[in-house]
């Protein structure tokens, strides 16, 4: 009768509850993790050691590396709740991202990837921590260092590598490249080459979310170099005026290509730059801190408007593959950060100290991840380059009279040249 459809509705709601909710059934969680990151069909990712000491539903409380610092806001607590399963998934996901970026490095050196390639290794904890706190209905937009965020949003390895190599199976059909990864269905809005231009876009996403009363938020990620762009402050002002659920996340890796933050910014406290907009400074290399801050920011933004999160992080590679990364910083600094603050190492230590996994378990996960990446690269390499007609598709939306003319005799010179004619309605 009347109650039956309501019951149905309830059950559907349960199955799409976000992964971070620890009351979710563990097998759903397992397959969710696997499905999210694996490009191959679902296969059995059983953990090699059963949970004898801690059940997969028990929570662990971990303290973040440093307390949060707030600007015009009370920072959240330093204690983060997590489950062993979540920690393992963090480890696996971050290792996958790390491996993907390193593979992209070698693909670039063998000239399969060309142009610009900006790698995210060292910063994976931001992508993972963010995902752990939000749903796919929330929006994320970032700049050109977008490969790992794309993965976090549900992109597959094959799509990533195919796009990097310019093949038709890529997420943008090979037409975008490294700096233009998008995934509309899971709320990933790119992927932008011009520094800072994505922040007004992100505030626009938040505006639409508020307009359509969706109850979701937008995260606009940018770097410390972009923090000096005027359009950022313009967008922030408007977002604050209109109380938009926009969260501006500054991924502060301390270098804007070759310029250190102290040389480009008079005030390197990016979380305070919002002035009237509250801010939070987070250790970006601690995935649990990122998760806590993102959750806190989402709750805040839905009620009160914009907030700035500054993630203190580091990139091991140079700005892009054409930048060695060592002319403006010392190798000691890079290896120092790698030893002290590496996000994957931190989770590894946590897992080992809480006896959730052994050293060999983790090594096995890394081997698996490596294999997955290699398979994805092989699959992507076999994929073809886009068809020549793709040059003219998606310039406009079909239906407004734009067609491709194949008249080789009149104006095209050779088979690779076609003229686009527009028929006015």
For another protein, give the closer residue by CB, 166 or 278: 166
Interaction between residue 390 and another protein (CB under 8 A): yes
DSSP code for 63 = E
**Sequence-ordered list of residues with C-beta below 8 angstroms from that of 191, at least 6 positions apart, any chain:** 142, 144, 146, 150, 172, 176, 179, 180, 181, 182
For another protein, give the closer residue by CB, 245 or 256: 256
- Window contacting another protein (CB under 8 A); options: 26-34, 89-97, 269-277, 391-399: 391-399
Three-state DSSP state, 376: helix
Candidates 132, 414, 167, 176; CA nearest to 295 is 132
Between CA 155 and CA 140 the distance in angstroms is 13
Q: Which of 109, 349, 367, 417 binds another protein (CB under 8 A)?
A: 417
Three-state DSSP state, 405: strand
C-beta of 327: minimal distance to another protein in Å? 7
Per-residue contact track with another protein, 182 to 221, x per CB under 8 A?
----------xxxxxx------------------------
For another protein, give the closer residue by CB, 107 or 356: 107
Kindly write down the DSSP assignment for every residue of 201-233, as one continuous string: HHHHHHHHHHHTT----EEEEEETTGGG-HHHH
Three-state DSSP state, 189: coil
Interaction between residue 230 and another protein (CB under 8 A): yes
- Window contacting another protein (CB under 8 A); options: 40-48, 75-83, 297-305, 382-390: 382-390
β-strand pairing of 69-71 with 402-405: unpaired
Q: Which of residues 115-144 bind another protein (CB under 8 A)?
A: 115-116
CB 61 within 8 A of CB 79: yes
- Window contacting another protein (CB under 8 A); options: 120-128, 163-171, 236-244, 290-298: 163-171
Structure tokens at 193: 């080459």
For another protein, give the closer residue by CB, 71 or 192: 192
C-beta of 411: minimal distance to another protein in Å? 9
For another protein, give the closer residue by CB, 41 or 230: 230
Q: Which helix (H) or strand (E) holds 71?
A: strand 69-71
- Window contacting another protein (CB under 8 A); options: 75-83, 227-235, 335-343, 369-377: 227-235
Between CA 241 and CA 210 the distance in angstroms is 13
C-beta of 108: minimal distance to another protein in Å? 11
**Sequence-ordered list of residues with C-beta below 8 angstroms from that of 213, at least 6 positions apart, any chain:** none
For another protein, give the closer residue by CB, 68 or 182: 182
C-beta of 122: minimal distance to another protein in Å? 20
Between CA 249 and CA 315 the distance in angstroms is 16
Per-residue contact track with another protein, 53 to 92, x per CB under 8 A?
----------------------------------------
Q: Which of residues 275-334 bind another protein (CB under 8 A)?
A: 327-328
- Window contacting another protein (CB under 8 A); options: 82-90, 210-218, 279-287, 384-392: 384-392
Between CA 108 and CA 47 the distance in angstroms is 33
For another protein, give the closer residue by CB, 56 or 198: 198
Sequence length of the chain is 425
- Window contacting another protein (CB under 8 A); options: 45-53, 97-105, 111-119, 356-364: 111-119
* Helix, strand, coil share (%) of the chain residues, nearest 5: 40, 10, 45
Q: Which of residues 244-283 bind another protein (CB under 8 A)?
A: 256-259, 263-265
Kindly write down the DSSP assignment for every residue of 118-170, as one continuous string: ---TT-HHHHHHHHHHS-TTSEEE--S--HHHHHHTT--HHHHHHHHTT-TTS
For another protein, give the closer residue by CB, 143 or 280: 143
C-beta of 239: minimal distance to another protein in Å? 20
Using CB under 8 A as the criterion, which residues of the chain lie in contact with another protein when the complex forms? 114-116, 163, 166-167, 172, 174-180, 192-197, 225-226, 228-231, 256-259, 263-265, 327-328, 385-386, 388, 390-392, 395, 413-414, 416-417, 420
């Amino acid at each position: 009768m009347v109650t039956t459809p309501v019951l149905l509705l309830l059950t559907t709601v349960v199955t799409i509850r976000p992964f971070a909710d620890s009351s979710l059934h563990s097998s759903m969680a397992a397959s969710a993790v696997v499905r999210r990151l694996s490009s191959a069909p679902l296969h059995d990712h059983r953990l090699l050691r059963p949970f004898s000491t801690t059940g997969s539903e028990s929570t662990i409380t971990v303290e973040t590396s440093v307390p949060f610092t707030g600007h015009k806001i009370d920072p959240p607590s330093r204690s983060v709740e997590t489950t062993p399963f979540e920690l393992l998934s963090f480890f696996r996901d971050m290792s996958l991202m790390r491996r993907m970026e390193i593979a992209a490095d070698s693909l670039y050196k063998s000239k399969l990837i060309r142009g610009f390639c900006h790698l995210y290794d060292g910063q994976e904890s931001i992508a993972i921590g963010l995902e752990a706190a939000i749903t796919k209905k929330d929006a994320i937009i970032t700049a050109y260092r977008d490969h790992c965020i794309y993965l976090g949003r549900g992109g597959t390895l094959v799509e990533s590598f195919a796009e990097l190599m310019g093949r038709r199976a890529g997420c943008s059909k090979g037409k975008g490249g490294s700096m233009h990864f998008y995934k509309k269905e899971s709320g990933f809005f790119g992927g932008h080459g011009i520094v800072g231009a994505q922040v007004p876009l992100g505030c626009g996403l938040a505006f639409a979310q508020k307009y359509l009363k969706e109850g979701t938020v937008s995260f606009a990620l940018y770097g410390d170099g972009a923090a000096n762009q005027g359009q950022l402050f313009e967008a922030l002002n408007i977002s604050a005026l209109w109380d938009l659920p926009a969260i501006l996340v500054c991924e502060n890796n301390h270098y804007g290509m070759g310029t250190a933050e102290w040389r480009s910014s008079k005030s390197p406290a990016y979380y305070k730059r919002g002035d009237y907009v509250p801010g939070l400074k987070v250790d970006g290399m601690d995935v649990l801190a990122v998760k806590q801050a993102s959750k806190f920011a989402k709750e805040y933004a839905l009620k009160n408007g914009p907030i700035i999160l500054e993630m203190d992080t580091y990139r091991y590679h140079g700005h892009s593959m054409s930048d060695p990364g060592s002319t403006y910083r010392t190798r000691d600094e890079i290896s120092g950060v790698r030893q002290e603050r590496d996000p994957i190492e931190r989770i590894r230590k946590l897992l080992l100290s809480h006896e959730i996994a052994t050293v060999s378990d983790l090594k096995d996960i890394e081997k698996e991840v490596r294999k997955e990446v290699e398979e994805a690269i092989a699959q992507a390499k076999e994929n073809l380059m886009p068809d020549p007609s793709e040059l003219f598709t998606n310039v406009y939306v079909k239906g407004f009279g734009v067609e491709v003319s194949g008249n080789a005799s009149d104006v095209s010179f050779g088979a690779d040249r076609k003229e686009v004619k527009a028929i006015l309605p």
